[in-house]
Structure 1
């Protein structure tokens, strides 16, 4: 499509085609049913792992593909064009738990967790938010107290993507005392596995969109986590999480672009088929303007995203760039899906056509891994960072 202005290497084209073929064969035939039933199909995890999609950013020594960030995002966008729910599984797994263990874990943790995670034998999740700590994530209250060879965790985590099926959950908890709170500097990150005593899966959220991606609460009731599962410094876990969210925001931007692209492709096809006043509606300037605006914003989103990805791979600070990409792409997804529903008219409002689902799926990209408001705050702060 004309919005695909990204120059790709031969390897990137092969991986893009592999992702597209996988999504069309293994996911597309079942999307409507899974969405209607809010059903998660566990078998797709191993299938994605077998193709390398769950270890794309991991080095080969940990059974990963070791590709650059742009290549990973190209594959993620292709998955998202077909199904945003599968894309968020892929994004969270690749961007957050695996990268945190790779960057901040010790070698024993890398060997124990990264290889099965790359192969799709162990799904990863990220547990930062709490019922009373969303955008103000540093206000979390889950407590971790050292007790011999274990840390004892008590608290509740919210909005955990894949939390009901994950084998390795990166959970943040306060390691400072209740009387000596150090804010962001008093939080540790723990690798929680579901077999540990005191681990409970709580409420499954009944969501507007991404309905085949399970989002749950996790309850820690005197959860005993071995000290070997502490990630790095017990006071630096929140800092690790914030650094990793830069990766996550790039992934969500790619997901949003995929949703927007699916909306554009559906609307373009429909506008050529739908006859009103004895002519295809694509001949009307009002429709042309909508399609043109959608295509332009998608191309701009992709440019922002891959500019940030290249900067990240060069080792540059991408705090602002990742927030810009996530902000613009997520708002593009909402714009494009809204325009697609409008082009479809009444048919866009019913579940017989895909744009209704795309519209629902798009909204969360403006919310999770940092709301649009938080992204604007981050961008503005970076403007003054050198003052």
Structure 2
């Protein structure tokens, strides 16, 4: 068994880091402070061809796997930008997967080429305020009308909605009570974000403020039938194709955040002199940081293990969920220890670890909670009875 990155995968890591090196701490602080989308970074990643890393070659992509996408996103988050760097481009990697698998050739060309070129941005309208992770209980409705559908409803935590041109929208076309299974009767659309019919209201949040999150209100949005992905009523099943890649990517992005924080803490510990010696000479500083490294390293390889399984057509549900779980905890632990290593200066924006600490809470609660992950593993791996 050989566990290492290939030369091609190392080249991905190097190439992404070279672009990210153009955007320093001050750039990300300014974007965070002014609630400004990192447009220059987004443009640089698009020009470098990275937005299409998992997209088919016929629409301008590289047709690479989740493993390569994970390596790319780890490089992005560990190079100053944190989750703002990840979230600015994240949807290009997992969001359009339903389009890649289930859309027509005409739809793929019309929708994916602008995404790959960075000419259009997309947002993801699935989560709702009253449904949360119980996706089968969404209330956004798409009623049949001549030539298409009329949509009304609400979405929550829709990232990049302030700058998006299109929205991936999950709706109910058949009431849940009328379906044989609760996962039936939902339909997926990819359509222009018409701001005359859609209000996008920014949510002020704890961190990752360079990339907006929003409450979305839809009132009388007409969606042509040509903007429906696949068959009516099969939308939920199409989204399942992207769940494991999303968990893997969120996990390895968290590792990048944690490793950036850990690197900053180690540098500070080498340079900060107290009582005539660097604080990093004290085991009280060394041991927590060394422990954080061990947790991050183990979670990193779990992420790549899950990505390898997915790319090779193997069952990856348990590993993808475990990877996200372990990575979220390891990143939070590393960022917490980084702040504590800096002492009082860890609370100051100047050293950046407070920003990374705030962002490190995100992968512990999104896109799926730790509790649901543990319930999934208990049921599917340990063969225990379903608890909810």
Instruction: Say whether the fold is shared (TM-score over 0.5).
Output: yes
The superposition leaves residues 78-137 of structure 1 with CA deviations (integer Å, 9 ceiling, x where unpaired) of 1111212121222222112x2121012121111111111111111222111111111222
Of 22-31 and 54-63, more deviation after overlay is shown by 22-31
Task: Give the corresponding residue for 1:337.
Answer: 335
On the 8 A contact 2:136/2:176 being kept in 1, the answer is: no
Q: TM-score, normalised to structure 2's length? A: 0.94
Q: Which runs of 5+ in 2 are unaligned?
A: none
Of 176-185 and 300-309, more deviation after overlay is shown by 176-185
On the 8 A contact 2:378/2:384 being kept in 1, the answer is: no
Task: Give the corresponding residue for 2:70.
Answer: 73
The superposition leaves residues 349-378 of structure 1 with CA deviations (integer Å, 9 ceiling, x where unpaired) of 111211100000111111121111121122
Task: Give the corresponding residue for 1:185.
Answer: 184
Q: Which runs of 5+ in 1 are unaligned?
A: none
For this pair of structures, how many residues does the alignment match?
381
Q: TM-score, normalised to structure 1's length? A: 0.94
The superposition leaves residues 117-158 of structure 1 with CA deviations (integer Å, 9 ceiling, x where unpaired) of 111111222111111111222211000111121111100111
Task: Give the corresponding residue for 1:204.
Answer: 202
SS in 1 for 2:22: helix
CA offset at residue 23 of structure 1? Answer: 1.2
Task: Give the corresponding residue for 2:87.
Answer: 88
2:60 equivalent to 1:63: yes
Within 2, Cα distance between the matches of 1:6 and 1:93?
A: 28
2:29 equivalent to 1:32: yes
Match of 1:112 among 87, 110, 113: 110
Moved over 3 A (4+): 26-29, 384-387
On the 8 A contact 2:194/2:221 being kept in 1, the answer is: no
SS in 1 for 2:178: coil
CA offset at residue 242 of structure 1? Answer: 2.9
On the 8 A contact 1:154/1:223 being kept in 2, the answer is: yes
On the 8 A contact 1:62/1:118 being kept in 2, the answer is: yes
Task: Give the corresponding residue for 1:174.
Answer: 172
Within 1, Cα distance between the matches of 2:24 and 2:370?
A: 29
CA offset at residue 217 of structure 1? Answer: 1.8
- 1:125-204 to 2 correspondences below 5 Å: 125-177=123-175, 180=178, 183-195=182-194, 198-201=197-200, 203-204=201-202
The superposition leaves residues 1-20 of structure 1 with CA deviations (integer Å, 9 ceiling, x where unpaired) of xxxx9622222222211111
SS in 1 for 2:238: helix
CA offset at residue 28 of structure 1? Answer: 4.0
